[in-house]
Structure 1
């Protein structure tokens, strides 16, 4: 498993947490949102999922990966 932490702007509430974590779960990744730091830590299989796909899934929920 690979672990990646991304800075994400625009998250502010429980709905944001559920949206991001749910979208990444659908890709087969495990994610933990930290609203205080504005970050998402993702555990994923790098052989099956790319960093670009993770970023796109977050951005598709309406948040900005910086």
Structure 2
């Protein structure tokens, strides 16, 4: 991904550990991961997602 370092943008990194012992918990974790993907995040590892926003405001509104 090409990023203009002088643009004033920023990276948003989401790291999480959710309970997945029961079927309900696994479903909730899957819904959460899919929500991150729908918001434009890319999966780096199973529980680590990242997104670049060209403006700081873009990441602030998603958090």
TM-score relative to the length of structure 2:
0.45
The structure having more radius of gyration, on CA atoms, is 2
Using structure 1 for the length normalisation, give the TM-score: 0.44
* Structure with more of its chain in strand, by fraction: 1
